[in-house]
Amino acid sequence: MLLKNKKILISGLANKYSIAAGIAAAMHREGAELAFTYQNERLLKNLIPIAEELGSKILIECDVSSDDSIKASFKDLNKSWDKFDGFVHSIGFAPADQLEGNFVDVTTREGFKIAHDISSYSFTAMAKEAKPMLNESSALLTLTYLGSVQTVPNYNVMGLAKASLEANTRFLAASLGKDNIRVNAISAGPIKTLAASGVKNFRKMLSEHSKVAPLGRTVTTEEVGNVASFLCSDYASGITGEITYVDAGFNIAAMPLIGYEE
Ligand code: NAD
Ligand code: 0WE
């Protein structure tokens, strides 16, 4: 039981395919007490039965595009939890028109602003509001993607936002270290979630991934959840500011082995 006696807030659970759902299930299995935020009423419908199964009755609306909404959600959480032990930030967004076509042609000032606001600044904003309620030896976690450090077709301005999110992870780790609050990120391989479902040629990306990755396959939300549980547990007490890849090894391979075996 990695997370016994830990209270952890989970954001970004849109449906059962969400990475946040795999993380919540693993954390529940490891003994954590959970609370959830959801973006809007529409997504609450999917969340209710999942939270119920994971023994949580704390469901709070939080639209990270609004400071007022973020503030109100932590005030709301405070009614249930006096103190807690960390949160998972599993939120990313860019307008759909930013994620298709040639980077320099499709990227706009407004698209850039929204991608960075929702996908990176929101992590800082949540840490700011959570800080007064966080116990000693808390842990914060976010989800990033390889597009932060290498180009990926169509990922475009989301790659820049993820680069910002990874720097955000390091600056938050430096900032909160004196309070013994750790801050880490998981860089997950591609997974067919709601956010991925609108993406052109995503199936092709999954099959390319399986060809290159040393493990010869993609990863599951459960595998991401297991690493998330470890990073938020006291077993990871010496790890902060780190980007941990959960991608079946894809990021270390320059090309597939296929055709070069003896
Ligand atoms: P998902 O669609 O299940 O989750 C994305 C979540 O972001 C949703 O729950 C949505 O409600 C939330 N969100 C968007 N705008 C918001 C706002 N203004 N306020 C509050 N919440 C908002 O997809 P996912 O793939 O599980 O994505 C979770 C995280 O994992 C994202 O940061 C994504 O970039 C990252 N990630 C995904 C993959 C992948 O291939 N699916 C790979 C690596 C990293
Ligand atoms: O971070 C992500 C998802 C990012 C995402 C996806 C969407 C689609 C719907 C952010 N905003 C939106 N906005 C929408 O309107 N991933 C890592 C998954 C992903 O998305 C891609 C990928 C991969 C991988 C987009 C293009 C290319 C590759």
The confidence score (pLDDT) of residue 261 equals: 77
| Rounded average pLDDT over 32-50 | 97
Residues with CB under 6 A from ligand 1: 12-14, 18-20, 39, 43, 62-65, 90-93, 118, 143-145, 188, 190-191, 193-196
| Whether residue 155 lies in the annotated active site | yes
User: Do 146 and 247 contact (CB within 8 A), yes or no?
Assistant: yes
The confidence score (pLDDT) of residue 259 equals: 83
Q: Whose CA is nearest to atom 13 of ligand 1?
A: 91
Which ligand number lies closest to the CA of residue 99? Answer: 2
| Whether residue 121 lies in the annotated active site | no
Tokens of 173: 């780790």
User: Do 37 and 60 contact (CB within 8 A), yes or no?
Assistant: yes
| Residue 9 Cα distances to 139, 141, 196, 232, angstroms | 11, 10, 23, 11
Q: pLDDT confidence of 67, banded at 50, 70, 90?
A: very high
Report pLDDT digits (tens) over 143-178.
999 999 999 999 999 999 999 999 999 999 999 999
**How many whole angstroms from 179 Cα to the centroid of ligand 2?**
34
Architecture of the domain spanning 7-249: 3-Layer(aba) Sandwich (3.40)
**Domain boundary assignment for the chain:** 7-249
Report pLDDT digits (tens) over 180-203.
999 999 999 999 999 999 899 999
Report pLDDT digits (tens) over 92-108.
999 999 999 999 999 99
Strand-pairing partners, residue 38, are 61
pTM over 0.85: yes
DSSP string, 190-230: P---HHHHTSTTHHHHHHHHHHHSTTSS---HHHHHHHHHH
Q: Whose CA is nearest to atom 10 of ligand 2?
A: 93
pLDDT at 262 over 80: no
Catalytic residue among 155, 235, 245, 260: 155
| Residue 76 Cα distances to 51, 66, 69, angstroms | 17, 15, 10
Tokens of 148: 């932060």
- How large a percentage of the chain has pLDDT more than 70? 100
